[in-house]
Structure 1
Amino acid sequence: MFQWIQKEPLSLNLGGELVSLSRPLIMGILNITPDSFYPGSRTTEEEQIAERLHKMVNEGADIIDIGAYSSRPNADDISPDDISPDEEMKRLSKGLDIIRKLYPTARVSVDTFRADIAARCVREYGVQMINDISGGELDSQMFETIAELKVAYILMHMKGTPQTMMQQIRYEHIIPEMLYYFSSRIARLESLGVNDIIIDPGFGFSKSVDDNYLLMNRLDEFTRIGYPLLVGISRKSMIYKYFGYTPEESLNGTTILNTLALLGGADILRVHDVKEAVEAVKIVSKTIQSVK
């Protein structure tokens, strides 16, 4: 019999809409960058952005996660000196204008570590969620800004920055260290009145290939924190480095890992390939229902 994590369904307040997580949600990735690690996700022109957006929505994406800089390992442009706030906002505005024109009620997450950018996206475009790869470490004002904006916040685990994270992959005991990381930051967020927090273990960020598979094996330990769990492993190096090929060849591995993540208790899957993720959710849900 399949094993899966059974827990009480959680929910998120997304812009005043109470969204149930009784069914895991699919977050589609919209990269407004010229240099994402997966070339198939790069969109810089308006026609490309609109085409990808239509595809993700039609395939069943529940949330669109838009980002304007690359957080790939060793990324040069993660430095504030390389991609200025003005350039980041310019890229985001292009994508957000298209989203709000074509799908004005879409649930949107913005992938940024800058508090000022987060505030502008929420106030000018009605964004309902901020996805911060740095867990508040790259901008000391982020937590206070999230509390003021009253939006959902994705709290990801990473050590260092994408420039340095792969030099910081040594852990004494990775799971306890990560649980402490989350608990300490959640306490700060809760003290500020932030209620809608999503936990992201940060697969591929400051972790070796073996670390990533250990995290997947023990994913259920993060569900015990009591907040929704997001998993983002789409076409990442834990797949293509393990097999010795490329992100373009990593869809099958992604689907397998997404399935394992769902069985481990994931509430949100962040993906490049929405159709395949939607199918994984449906198959896992059908299998679970059949044995109740």
Structure 2
Amino acid sequence: MAVVNRTPDSFYPAARSHDLGAALDAVERAVAEGADLVDVGGVRAGRGPEVGVAEEIDRVVPVVQRVRARFPDLPVSVDTWRAEVAEVALAEGADLVNDTWAGHDPRLAQVAASYGAGLVCSHTGGLPPRTDPVRPVYPDGVVADVVAALAAAAARAVAAGVEPRSVLVDPTHDFGKTTWHSLELTRATAALAGLGHPLLMALSRKDFVGESLALPVDDRLEGTLAATAVATWLGASVFRAHDVRATRRVVEMVAVLRGDLLPARVVRGLD
């Protein structure tokens, strides 16, 4: 899942594509590097200037329209917590709603269902959109809390009419969590994959990687890929990534090591 941000203030400067042309170029690059789908966002996840519904639609929907025209078979995801934005984007051909704020707008599942679209169910520890965690505590442990919350959210999505196979679950690293929490969730990938829905991991260049290695966002690729390899081995199946080519190569190599994918070419010792 390639990240395409139409935001001027994304936490990773290299991913900022506020200009429509730059966003479309980012889609072209992602497809060339092996993206299976693109995730278009119009609002920075963290704190920043207010972005209203109309402005978010103006940022997101033109990208959806042009991607659908240019790549008719490419799945398009919209990163939004607002039902109004999702409805317009889905009407223009988006396929998936990536709700990174854990059902803050309860209408979102119904909107996705009405268009036959998929939905990503996330976990934020109860925080409202665009807020940062402050000493979050999970009395029963973060893994138990995330597993229970995602199971409940997925069940609500299915009850609202979203096809079970189109419901993804995301533990949502860093959102409502300390670095310790995000590390523990990565080690517990198998338990999350056991929920029975495709498991999305959004690990790319996040703060838990930076704090683990004492690195700024520009230097977090290797740490991201290490976490990606572990999560792939343990059962994650979708990765939201800024670095598409590198991420895809890591995921495919782990799949070969697991025996889930055949090597692309084997001639050593056979000729």
Given that residues 66 and 111 in structure 1 are in contact (C-alpha distance below 8 angstroms), is that contact kept between their aligned partners in structure 2? yes
Question: Which residues in structure 2 correspond to 1:173-212 (within 5 Å)?
Answer: 173-195=141-163, 196-212=166-182
1:33 equivalent among 1, 4, 7: 7
The number of residues matched between the two structures is 258
Cα distance between partner residues in 1 of 2:210 and 2:95: 32
1:42 and 2:16 equivalent? yes
Q: Secondary structure of the residue that 1:153 maps to in structure 2?
A: strand
Cα distance between partner residues in 2 of 1:83 and 1:290: 43
Given that residues 110 and 161 in structure 2 are in contact (C-alpha distance below 8 angstroms), is that contact kept between their aligned partners in structure 1? no
Q: Output the amino acid matched with 2:138.
A: Y
TM-superposition CA deviations, 1:81-111 (whole Å, max 9, x none): x211110000012322332343233210000
Question: Which residues in structure 2 correspond to 1:58-137 (within 5 Å)?
Answer: 58-72=32-46, 75-77=47-49, 82-123=50-91, 125-137=92-104
1:171 and 2:141 equivalent? no
| Higher RCO structure (Cα 8 Å, ≥6 apart) | 1
Given that residues 213 and 223 in structure 2 are in contact (C-alpha distance below 8 angstroms), is that contact kept between their aligned partners in structure 1? no
- Alignment root-mean-square deviation, CA: 1.8
Note the C-alpha offset of 1:290. Answer: 8.9
Note the C-alpha offset of 1:143. Answer: 2.0
Given that residues 162 and 205 in structure 1 are in contact (C-alpha distance below 8 angstroms), is that contact kept between their aligned partners in structure 2? no
1:246 and 2:246 equivalent? no
Unaligned 5+ runs, structure 2:
263-271
1:140 equivalent among 99, 106, 117: 106
Note the C-alpha offset of 1:168. Answer: 5.5
Moved more, 228-237 or 153-162: 153-162
TM-superposition CA deviations, 1:186-229 (whole Å, max 9, x none): 22222222222100000111111111111011111111111110
- The residue number in structure 2 matching 1:52 is 26
1:261 and 2:261 equivalent? no
Given that residues 135 and 158 in structure 1 are in contact (C-alpha distance below 8 angstroms), is that contact kept between their aligned partners in structure 2? yes
Q: Secondary structure of the residue that 1:65 maps to in structure 2?
A: strand
**Aligned in 2, Cα 1:99/1:239: closer, same or farther, shift over 3 Å?**
same
Cα distance between partner residues in 1 of 2:100 and 2:69: 27
Q: Secondary structure of the residue that 2:9 maps to in structure 1?
A: coil
Cα distance between partner residues in 1 of 2:135 and 2:110: 27
The TM-score, its normalising length taken from structure 2, stands at: 0.90
Q: Secondary structure of the residue that 1:76 maps to in structure 2?
A: coil
Which structure carries more strand by proportion?
Answer: 1
- The residue number in structure 1 matching 2:265 is none
Given that residues 38 and 247 in structure 1 are in contact (C-alpha distance below 8 angstroms), is that contact kept between their aligned partners in structure 2? yes
Cα distance between partner residues in 1 of 2:230 and 2:190: 11
Question: Which residues in structure 2 correspond to 1:3-14 (within 5 Å)?
Answer: none
- The residue number in structure 2 matching 1:4 is none
Unaligned 5+ runs, structure 1:
1-26
Note the C-alpha offset of 1:129. Answer: 0.4
Q: Matched residues, percent identical?
A: 26
Cα distance between partner residues in 2 of 1:245 and 1:287: 29
Cα distance between partner residues in 2 of 1:184 and 1:46: 37
Given that residues 198 and 227 in structure 1 are in contact (C-alpha distance below 8 angstroms), is that contact kept between their aligned partners in structure 2? yes
The TM-score, its normalising length taken from structure 1, stands at: 0.84
Q: Output the amino acid matched with 1:152.
A: G
- The residue number in structure 2 matching 1:283 is 253
- The residue number in structure 2 matching 1:158 is 124
- The residue number in structure 2 matching 1:13 is none
**Aligned in 2, Cα 1:88/1:229: closer, same or farther, shift over 3 Å?**
same
Q: Secondary structure of the residue that 1:48 maps to in structure 2?
A: helix
**Aligned in 2, Cα 1:163/1:114: closer, same or farther, shift over 3 Å?**
closer
